[in-house]
Amino acid sequence: MVEGVRCDHLAFRSPHVDWQIWIQEGKEPLPRKLVITTRDQPNAPQFSVTVTKLDLEPTFTPQTFSFRAPSGAKQIEFLPLATR
């Protein structure tokens, strides 16, 4: 159970990382929780996320993806890519 939702729990192992995922049962098998454990680092750090709100029909306007530089921002020059 994740946040009161019945889920299937799957766990996977590899030499360096273990990960687990909880997938909601039923007509919409959506991910509800993910845990990643880094096994090759001291103390095996973990990342965990629980999904509580999913919007399966989001709406976007062109402004959603438009960039507006903040006041005082300056563009920086990048070095050209090296060619082989």
- DSSP line for the chain: -BTTB-EEEEEEE-SSEEEEEEEE-SSS--EEEEEEEETTSTT--EEEEE-----SS----GGGG---PPTT------PPPP--
User: pTM of the full predicted structure?
Assistant: 0.69
Determine, yes or no, domain membership for 18.
yes
pLDDT (average), residues 23-42: 95
Output the pLDDT for position 58: 92
Determine, yes or no, domain membership for 76.
no
Domain that holds residue 42: 7-52
Confidence bin at 81 (pLDDT 50/70/90): confident
**pLDDT more than 70, % of the chain:** 99
Determine, yes or no, domain membership for 69.
no
- The count of structural domains within the chain is 1
